[in-house]
Amino acid sequence: MGRQIARRTAKPELSHMNIFCAFLVIFIHCASVIIGETTSLDTAFNAVFIPWRFSTFVVPAFIFLSGVKLFLTDKKIDYVKFYKGRITRVILPYLLWVFIFYIFFVNHHYFEFSWDGLFHAWWRGDLVGHFYFVIIIVQFYILMPLWVYALRRVTPAVGIAFSVLISVVLGYNLSNILYIILPNHVFQFSDVIFTKYLLYWVCGCYVGMNYQKFKEIILNRKILITALFLFSGFLDIYLAYATYNMAVPWMEEVHILYCTSAILFFFMFFCWICDKRKQLTRFTRALDSQCYNIYLSHCLIILWLNDYLLTEIKMSNVVQRFWTITLSAYLGSFIFWMLWWVIKTGAITIFRFIKTRLAGIKSAV
């Protein structure tokens, strides 16, 4: 019962963390303009590298948040309704935006249009870097009955330990294992298999199942969590910089530690600042509801504007392009999707009003 009540109560910390991560994603892809065109010998690279690397926990954080939200209640899941919702709210917008990006690349002569190419982009999620997240999260959704059955029967300690093992062995090393088993077969999808992110999903599911208890635990350990975050963050950023453009297998384990501690820290941070705030403002609810749309679409602004500044404006200064693109990506994404929310909300309100009036007229007759 406690978890069902928690489900009905607003969770401002989840919405604020979701918005924060969405805005970090935009920065990651804006910073790639500098990261991709400079080297560690350049001042611009060194200035951007730290916040860029710092932000790389966001996809694991999105997966964690998805697990939290889906397991906030013991209520039996209506799988028909669940999968219908995933199709309409997750998969269809993804298919639309992949198509839009594909047409953009065709119009800018990156390649010629082909149905095989489009279907490959939909299936593989590699047309633009950020689409892989959708491929991964959909795998978790497809296996939802497994998570509901297994995680409610296994203690968090056992479940998390097993997920760490799977994430390390069958996540980051999946290609090597398959090569040993099938040396003549090249497996091209290891980077978008859910096993790499299983730890974050399982942790999110367990947090959702024990939400209030977990909040109390982390709020009572703010200093320890902060120290772990700072230590792992320094270690990850320092080692990533020192080994940049080098293949270092153990960096993946370091990054897992950082991503886990960063998720824990920011979840604690937003629980702390939202501790006395039980309701979301209308603005925050609106922005939170558009985070997925912002995630899917923001790279279009970056790609188009970077191409325009290079080819039409002849802006060769990468720092100027970075600031122009960053400002445009944030403002463009925010303004467009908030206007979309206003239009959509207004249309729904008008439709409901008309429907109510017509029903009233019909009953009166």
Q: What spatial distance separates the first Cα and last Cα of the chain, rounded to whole Å?
A: 45
pLDDT tens series, the chain, 365 aa: 334 334 446 789 999 999 999 999 999 999 999 999 998 889 999 999 999 999 999 999 999 999 999 999 878 899 999 999 999 999 999 999 999 999 999 999 999 999 999 999 999 888 998 999 999 999 999 999 999 999 999 999 999 999 998 888 776 666 667 666 767 666 666 677 888 899 999 999 999 999 999 999 999 999 999 999 999 999 999 999 988 877 777 788 899 999 999 999 999 999 999 987 778 889 999 999 999 999 999 999 999 999 999 999 999 899 999 999 999 999 999 999 999 999 999 999 898 888 878 777 777 66
What are the CB-based long-range contacts (under 8 Å, 24+) for 49-56?
49/237, 49/241, 49/244, 50/237, 51/27, 52/27, 52/28, 53/236, 53/237, 53/240, 53/241, 54/233, 54/237, 55/24, 55/25, 55/27, 55/28, 55/31, 56/28, 56/255, 56/259
159-195 core/surface letters (b: 16 or more CB in 10 A; e: else) = bbeebbebbbebbbbbeeeeeeeeeeeeeeebbbbbb
Angle at 123 between CA 117 and CA 129, to 5 degrees: 85
DSSP designation for 169: I
Query: What are the residues whose beta carbons fall under 8 Å from the beta carbon of 334, sequence distance 6 or more?
Result: 287, 294
DSSP designation for 77: P
Rounded CA-CA distance 66/200 in Å is 10
Query: What are the residues whose beta carbons fall under 8 Å from the beta carbon of 154, sequence distance 6 or more?
Result: 162
Contact present, 299 and 128 (Cβ < 8 Å): yes
- For tokens 């969590």, the residue is 225
pTM of the model: 0.90
